[in-house]
Amino acid sequence: GAVVSQHPSRVICKSGTSVKIECRSLDFQATTMFWYRQFPKQSLMLMATSNEGSKATYEQGVEKDKFLINHASLTLSTLTVTSAHPEDSSFYICSARDRVSGNTIYFGEGSWLTVV
Amino acid sequence: AQKITQTQPGMFVQEKEAVTLDCTYDTSDPSYGLFWYKQPSSGEMIFLIYQGSYDQQNATEGRYSLNFQKARKSANLVISASQLGDSAMYFCAMREGRYSGGSNYKLTFGKGTLLTVNP
C-alpha cells in the first residue's frame, strides 16, 4: 500500500535553533499534505495544510513564522520549527492522500522533537 | 461543540473476545468520511477502516468492522477476536466536505480510546 515516510523520527535540538522535518510520499504523488501536532496523551491537532507549489494554509492559532512549511514537490513537504523553544517539544506527524487509491489518508511515522 | 466524541478514555478486553469502541460525530455537511486509526506506543498512525457518508453498507476490513448508524451519528469500531497486539490508542476521525480539492482531506480527531487486551 501507499507509504508516507517522515524523517527524522527523533530529534533533539538546542533552544533557539531551527529544525527541519521531512514528509515524503514514497509511491504516490500528493498535491496536499497535512501537518499535525500531538502532545503526550492527547489527540492530534491539525497545524496546517501544505499545498504543492503554493503557500501553506495554517489553522487558527498556529504561528506561520514559527512553523515554516514548504511543499517543494509532489512527493515532499517539509516543516521547519524556527527558533525552537522547549514548549515546541512535541510529536509532529504528517499525512497525505493517495488520489489513486481513493479515500485512504496515510500518515507518516511521526517525528519526536525535544528542545533542550 | 466537539466534532468527534470518544467517550471511553480506556477499555479492557480479554484476548479472543470482541470489543466495541464508541465514536459519535457532529456535522451538518451531507458529505463526510469517518476513519479509525490505531496508534501504538511508537507513535505511528495505522489506518484501519473508512466509512463514507453515502456508503450503504457498513465497512469491514478483516477483524475490524464499523457499525455506522447515520441517524444517530455514530461510527463505532468493532474489533473481533482481540489479540495482544491490538493494545494501543484508537482514534476516530472525520473528514468533512466533498472530495473537490485536497484540502478536504484534513481530519478532525477524537480524543482517543486506550485499549488494553489482557491475556
pLDDT for the residue numbered A104? 77
Distance of residue B49 Cα from the nearest chain A Cα, in angstroms: 9
| Residue B1: predicted pLDDT | 67
B107–A44 CB contact, under 8 Å: yes
C-alpha distances in Å from residue A87, one per residue of A84, A90, A91, A114, B43: 8, 8, 12, 9, 19
> pLDDT (tens digit, 9 = 90+) per residue, A37-88?
999 889 999 999 988 888 899 999 999 999 999 988 889 999 999 999 999 9
Tracing cell 470489543 back to the chain, one arrives at: B19
CA dihedral B6, B12, B14, B20 (to 10 degrees): -10
State how far the Cα of B103 lies from the Cα of B83, in Å rounded to an integer: 36
- Chain A positions touching B110 (Cβ under 8 A) are 43
Task: Return the pLDDT at A31.
Answer: 81
Mean pLDDT of B8-34: 96
What whole-number percentage of chain B has pLDDT above 70? Answer: 93
- Cβ-defined contact of B44 to A107 (cutoff 8 Å): yes
Instruction: Using a CB–CB cutoff of 8 Å, tell me whether A80 touches chain B.
Output: no
Mean pLDDT on A8-31: 94
Report phi then psi at B87, rounded to 5: -65, 120
pLDDT band for position B19 (cuts 50, 70, 90): very high
Q: What is the mean pLDDT of residues B102-111?
A: 80
* CB nearest to B44's CB, from A97, A103, A109: A109
Q: Give the three cell numbers for residue A85.
A: 523553544
The whole-number pLDDT of residue A72 equals 84
Across the range B92-118, mean pLDDT stands at 83
Please name the residues between 29 and 88 in chain B that touch chain A, using a CB distance below 8 Å: 33, 35, 37, 42-47, 50, 52
How high is the mean pLDDT of chain B? 92
Read off the pLDDT of each residue in B67-95 and give the average, rounded to a whole number: 97
Q: How many C-beta neighbours within 10 Å does residue A72 have?
A: 11
For residue B45, give the DSSP letter.
P
Contacts of B93 in chain A (CB under 8 A): 44
Contact between B105 and A43 using a beta-carbon 8 Å cutoff: no
Section B15-29 average pLDDT = 96
pLDDT at B15 (0 to 100): 97
Evaluate if residue A102 carries a pLDDT over 90: no
